[in-house]
């Protein structure tokens, strides 16, 4: 078997572009899904029952759905319903945001609920308002519990962006697989793709471990 | 020199500590500790927290490897190899501060598990024995209960029954009442008193001075990894010789 | 807009065969991942240091690389495996790493006092692990293990990229043939949800019932 690793160098710009798209997708999705998650969480804690149910239904539905199916659905079905043509990138972004917002909503809810009721009462007893209690007592404590989980979600998201390659978004996975089928350099391109993902993902995974050790709360 | 004749004096001691040393990094937990436990004795180890009492207890059945000296059990030096340590451990019963009952087993199976897994006894026979031991500690009605549903005092009594199930020659108690609510301490101490009255050889690490004085035959006072002084309860509690023993008692608000 | 669910209805056998394969692949992968993960997790906790480092590299690599990449990676070796077998191997390797982490964390969460108590009874190291540590660790692992189960089912859908004829793949085929992606994909969504929701809830319910068995 003769191997030709120069193929990776030859297509370096296409690979770099793929990495850029992968990173941008991750950043944009998180930037939208954090506020998105907060909105859904607040909806679930609303005093208005229908809003509460809608929030719960949203979270349960999207957490119990394969992301790749959501990507296909957003690509083929969404344009038929809302009647606008989105670019593949925007379509992928929508699918990822719908998914990650649901996970974030759960993370935020768990983080806020983990702060004991006594802390809340202690704040109120000092004469603080509900909002002050939320802002000064509950949230600062909750952040420590939320951050590590959010970091785990980030790494999952980074990897999950590869799924949008099935709708021809030019991310790393898509571009690498494209080069593979153009050049028939299967072994080389698959290895290079895995290696690039590894180099990008491994430090992130380690960083998450560190955050869990640093901020993690053992019950 | 005391004129007090120690129980079991003149016979071969069950446990002998000879210059035992244990270090954790630069911290010396046991500093050349020597002493002995005779058959039929109730030896109480007292002293401030972190003075080495519990460490010595864990060295006794080789749960804690030590750095120097020797421990003899029944005249034989404790083996260093894990596989042989088992044979010594099964001859000593141990009771822990946090009970350490196995949460996935009923009270009855907690007591029977040692006989089944270690002695290879049939389950039915082991359970029969376990039943009689639960009766002995006054918990016949709790045999089907899981530890999570028992009070602290009940859990500790099950733990004592579990240790007794192995027919041990010695019972080691590591602060058995420290994690208990005040109202349940009595029921555990009563079981221990009953054991002592039956002639069981016991080594008890405790902060219960009343128990040590009433039930103990020999008191060893620890401080900073060393034995400060030892003797019969009458001597230690009423006429302590060492200033550090007196300091320890006055910290507890004991005596005057 | 008019709906036409007839492609779903007429091809229900084809889709159902995909659903069966989804379930079979998920169960097989989960079984494989449990075996691999338990062995790796135990070896990492109790094994020698060098072995722990090697296994940590395996686990962290699997956490760093997307499932999609792991699924296509077996193509680099020149062995002809069926798509199903390839998917099974890849998912087992990938999920096994996650199970290993759960097993290790479960073992590490059992207080050392439990081991000490069992040793004090005279049990051997192997007996301590089998009779005392693992039974409790398994209870504590249940919630995380349950979420791995639902992740597994979701990951089987990604096996569509290597042409495993599971539910996702079959749905794509019908959607493309009938030009009715809305009806087909919406139906598939509902089927996946109905499959996954009870799993998630069921694991939670089981855990609540056995929780106390792991609380030492």
Domain assignment present for C48: yes
Rounded to whole angstroms, what are the CA distances from A211 to A103, A150, A151, A154, B219? Answer: 19, 10, 8, 12, 49
pLDDT tens digits for A160-191? 999 999 998 989 999 998 888 888 888 888 99
CA distance, residue C196 to nearest chain B CA (Å): 29
H or E segment at B46? strand B42-46
Beta-carbon neighbour count of residue C120 at 10 Å?
27
| Residues of C whose CB is below 8 A from A15 | none
Q: Which helix (H) or strand (E) holds A189?
A: helix A186-215
CATH number of the CATH domain containing C66: 1.10.3720.10
Chain centroid offset of residue A26 CA? 7
Q: Which of A7, A58, A63, A69 to mutate to test the interface with C (most CBs of C within 10 A)?
A: A69
Mutate to test the interface with C, among B117, B152, B160, B168 (most CBs of C within 10 A): B117
State the smallest CA–CA distance between residue B114 and chain C in angstroms: 6
pLDDT at A139 over 70: yes
- Length of chain B, in residues: 256
Does A106 contact chain C (CB < 8 Å)?
no
Q: Give the span between the Cα atoms of C104 and B44, in whole angstroms.
A: 39
> Could you give the CA distance from residue B51 to residue B223 in angstroms, rounded to a whole number?
5
Q: What is the mean pLDDT of residues B53-64?
A: 92
Q: What is the pLDDT of residue A193?
A: 92
Q: How confident is the model at residue A122 (pLDDT cuts 50, 70, 90)?
A: confident
- How many independent structural domains does chain C possess? 1
E-only strand ranges, chain A: none
Question: Is there a contact between A190 and C73 if contact means CB atoms under 8 Å apart?
Answer: yes
Considering only residues B213 and A8, tell me which one the structure prediction assigns the higher pLDDT.
B213
For chain A, what's the residue count?
Answer: 219
What tokens does B78 get?
Answer: 């404790």
What whole-number percentage of chain B has pLDDT above 70?
97
Distance, C-alpha B89 to centroid of its chain:
13
CA C1 to chain A, closest CA, distance in angstroms equals 9
Instruction: Report, as ranges of residue numbers, the positions in chain C whose pLDDT lies below 50.
Output: none
Cβ of B146 within 8 Å of Cβ of C213? The answer is: yes
B127-167 per-position pLDDT tens digit: 999 999 999 999 999 999 999 999 999 999 999 999 999 99
- pLDDT reported for residue A219: 41
**Cα gap A41→A47, rounded to integer Å:** 12
Residues of A in contact with C188 (CB under 8 A): 69
| All structural domains of chain A | 9-215 (1.10.3720.10)
What 3 state SS string does chain C have?
Answer: CCCCCHHHHHCHHHHHHHHHHHHHHHHHHHHHHHHHHHHHHHHHHHCCHHHHHHHHHHHHHHHHCCHHHHHHHHHHCCCCCCHHHHHHHHHHHHHHHHHHHHHHHHHHCCCHHHHHHHHHCCCCHHHHHHHHHHHHHHHHHHHHHHHHHHHHHHHHHHHHHHCCCCHHHHHHHHHHHHCCHHHHHHHHHHHHHHHHHHHHHHHHHHHHHHHHHHCC
What is the distance between the alpha carbons of residues C201 and C207, in angstroms, rounded to a whole number? 10
Residue A42's pLDDT band, with cuts at 50, 70 and 90, is confident
Decide if C14 is inside a domain: yes
In angstroms, the separation between the Cα of residue C100 and the nearest Cα of chain A is 15
Alpha carbon distance C160, C166 (integer Å) = 7
Tell which wins on pLDDT, A140 or C140: C140
C24-68 pLDDT per residue, tens: 999 999 999 999 999 999 999 999 999 999 999 999 999 999 999
Q: What is the pLDDT of residue C71?
A: 93
Question: How confident is the model over B198-244, as pLDDT tens digits?
Answer: 999 999 999 999 999 999 999 999 999 999 999 999 999 999 999 99
CB contact, 8 Å: C182 with chain A?
A: yes
Q: Do A65 and C192 touch (CB under 8 A)?
A: yes
Instruction: Measure CB to CB from residue C193 to each of A61, A67, A205 and give the nearest one.
Output: A61
* DSSP for A25-36, written as a single string: HHHHHHHHHHHH
The answer to whether residue C5 is domain-embedded is no
Q: Which residues make beta-bridge pairs with B43?
A: B203, B218
- Please state, in angstroms and rounded to a whole number, the distance separating the CA atoms of residues A103 and C69: 23
C58 found inside a domain? yes
Contact residues, A window 24-53, toward C, CB-based 8 Å cutoff: none
C188 vs chain A: nearest CA distance in angstroms? 8
pLDDT at residue number C194: 94
The minimal CB distance from A162 to the residues C1, C68, C175 is found for: C68
Q: Is residue C207 part of a domain?
A: yes
pLDDT digits (tens, 9 = 90+) for B94-130: 999 999 999 989 999 999 999 998 899 999 999 999 9
Q: Who among A77, A191, A206 is closest to C181 (CB)?
A: A77
Within a domain: residue C4?
no
- Whether C121 sits inside 8 A of B166 (CB atoms) is yes
Residue C51 counted as domain residue: yes
Mean pLDDT for chain A overall = 88
pLDDT band at A133 (very low <50, low <70, confident <90, very high): confident
| Record: contact A72-C189, CB cut-off 8 A | no
- For tokens 């009343």, the residue is B210
Check CB contact under 8 Å for C76 and A160: no
How far does CA A20 lie from the centroid of its chain? Answer: 16
Which pLDDT does position C205 carry in this prediction? 85
CB contact under 8 A, C76 and A191: yes
Tell me, yes or no, if C117 comes closer than 8 A to chain A by beta carbon: no
| End-to-end Cα distance, chain B | 24
Task: Determine the pLDDT at residue B255.
Answer: 57
Q: Count other C-beta atoms under 10 Å from residue A184's C-beta.
A: 10
Geometric angle at alpha carbon B114, from C141 and B119, rounded to 5°: 130
The residue of chain B with its CA nearest to that of C115 is B100
Q: Can you give the residue range of the structural domain that contains C180?
A: 10-214
Residue of chain C minimizing CA distance to B100: C114
Q: Is the pLDDT reported for residue A127 higher than 80?
A: no
| A194 contacts C69? CB cut-off 8 A | yes
Give the CA distances from residue C63 to residues A191, B234, C157, in Å, rounded to whole numbers and listed in that order. 17, 66, 19
Least CB–CB distance from C132: residue in B58, B90, B102: B102
Q: Do C160 and A155 touch (CB under 8 A)?
A: no
Say if the Cβ atoms of C64 and A166 lie within 8 Å.
Answer: no
| Domain presence at residue C71 | yes
* A205/C161 touch (CB, cutoff 8 Å), yes or no: no
Residues of C in contact with B149 (CB under 8 A): 212
Q: Which residues of C touch B121 (CB under 8 A)?
A: none
| pLDDT given for residue A2 in this prediction | 73
C112 to chain A, closest Cα gap in Å: 16
Q: What is the pLDDT averaged over residues B174-189? A: 93
State how far the Cα of B129 lies from the Cα of C104, in Å rounded to an integer: 36
Nearest CA in chain C to A157: C66
For C113, other C-beta atoms within 10 Å of its C-beta total: 15
In the predicted model, what is the mean pLDDT of residues A127-131?
75
Q: Which residues of chain A lie closer than 8 angstroms to C140, CB-CB?
A: none
Q: What is the pLDDT of residue A185?
A: 83
Eight-state DSSP code of residue B190:
H
Nearest CA in chain C to B90: C122
Chain A contact partners (≥3 CB pairs within 8 A): C
Cα A165 from Cα C72, distance rounded (Å): 13
- C-facing residues of A in 114-143 (CB < 8 A) are none
Interface of C with A in 62-91 (CB under 8 A): 63-69, 72-73, 75-76, 78
**The residue to which tokens 């602290």 are assigned:** B152
Tell me the whole-structure pTM to 2 decimals.
0.81
More confident of the two residues A145 and B29:
B29
């Amino acid at each position: 078997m003769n191997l030709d690793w120069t193929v990776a160098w030859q297509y370096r710009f296409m690979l770099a572009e793929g990495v850029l798209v992968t990173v941008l997708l991750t950043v944009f999705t998180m930037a939208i899904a954090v506020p998105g998650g907060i909105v859904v969480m607040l909806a679930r804690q609303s005093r208005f029952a229908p809003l509460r149910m809608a929030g719960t239904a949203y979270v349960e539905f999207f957490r119990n759905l394969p992301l790749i199916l959501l990507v296909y659905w957003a690509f083929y079905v969404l344009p038929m319903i809302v009647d606008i043509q989105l670019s593949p990138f925007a379509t992928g972004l929508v699918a990822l945001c719908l998914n990650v917002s649901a996970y974030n909503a759960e993370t935020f809810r768990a983080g806020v609920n983990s702060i004991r009721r006594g802390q809340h009462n202690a704040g109120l007893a000092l004469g603080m308002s509900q909002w002050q209690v939320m802002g000064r007592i509950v949230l600062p404590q909750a952040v420590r519990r939320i951050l590590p989980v959010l970091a785990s979600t980030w790494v999952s998201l980074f990897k999950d962006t590869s799924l949008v390659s099935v709708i021809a978004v030019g991310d790393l996975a898509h571009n690498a697989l494209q080069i593979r089928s153009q050049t028939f350099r299967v072994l080389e391109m698959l290895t290079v793709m895995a290696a690039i993902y590894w180099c990008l993902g491994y430090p992130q995974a380690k960083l998450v471990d560190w955050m869990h050790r640093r901020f993690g709360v053992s019950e | 020199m005391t004129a007090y004749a120690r129980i079991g004096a003149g016979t071969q001691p069950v446990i002998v500590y000879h210059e035992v040393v244990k270090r954790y990094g630069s911290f010396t937990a046991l500093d050349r500790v020597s002493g002995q436990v005779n058959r039929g004795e109730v030896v109480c180890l007292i002293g401030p927290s972190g003075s080495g009492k519990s460490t010595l207890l864990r060295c006794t059945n080789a749960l804690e490897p030590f750095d120097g000296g020797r421990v003899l059990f029944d005249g034989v030096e404790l083996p260093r190899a894990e596989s042989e340590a088992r044979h010594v451990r099964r001859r000593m019963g141990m009771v822990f501060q946090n009970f350490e009952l196995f949460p996935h087993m009923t009270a009855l199976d907690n007591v029977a598990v040692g006989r089944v897994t270690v002695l290879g006894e049939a389950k039915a026979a082991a359970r029969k024995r376990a039943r009689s031991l639960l009766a002995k500690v006054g918990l016949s009605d709790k045999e089907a209960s899981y530890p999570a549903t028992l009070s602290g005092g009940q859990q500790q009594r099950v733990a004592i029954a579990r240790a007794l199930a192995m027919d041990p020659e010695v019972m080691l108690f590591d602060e058995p009442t420290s994690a208990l609510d005040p109202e349940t301490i009595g029921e555990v101490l009563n079981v221990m008193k009953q054991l002592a009255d039956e002639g069981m050889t016991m080594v008890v690490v405790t902060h219960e001075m009343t128990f040590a004085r009433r039930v103990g035959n020999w008191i060893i006072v620890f401080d900073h990894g060393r034995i400060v002084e030892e003797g019969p309860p009458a001597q230690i509690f009423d006429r302590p010789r060492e200033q550090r023993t007196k300091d320890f008692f006055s910290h507890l608000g004991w005596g005057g | 807009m008019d709906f036409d669910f007839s492609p779903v209805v007429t091809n229900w056998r084809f889709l159902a065969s995909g659903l069966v394969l989804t379930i079979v692949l998920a169960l097989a992968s989960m079984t494989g991942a449990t075996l691999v993960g338990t062995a790796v997790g135990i070896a990492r906790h109790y094994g020698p240091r060098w072995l722990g480092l090697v296994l940590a590299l395996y686990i962290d690599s699997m956490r760093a690389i997307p499932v999609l990449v792991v699924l296509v990676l077996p193509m680099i070796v020149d062995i002809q495996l069926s798509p199903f077998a390839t998917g099974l191997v890849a998912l087992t390797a990938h999920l096994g790493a996650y199970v290993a982490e759960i097993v290790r964390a479960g073992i590490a969460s059992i207080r050392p006092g439990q081991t000490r108590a069992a040793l004090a009874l005279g049990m051997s190291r192997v007996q301590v692990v089998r009779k005392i540590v693992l039974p409790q660790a398994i209870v504590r692992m249940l919630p995380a293990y349950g979420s791995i189960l639902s992740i597994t089912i979701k990951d089987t859908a990604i096996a569509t990229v290597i042409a495993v004829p599971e539910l996702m793949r079959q749905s794509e085929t019908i959607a493309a043939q009938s030009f009715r992606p809305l009806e087909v994909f919406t139906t598939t969504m509902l089927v996946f949800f109905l499959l996954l929701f009870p799993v998630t809830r069921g694991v939670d319910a089981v855990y609540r019932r056995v929780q106390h068995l792991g609380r030492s």
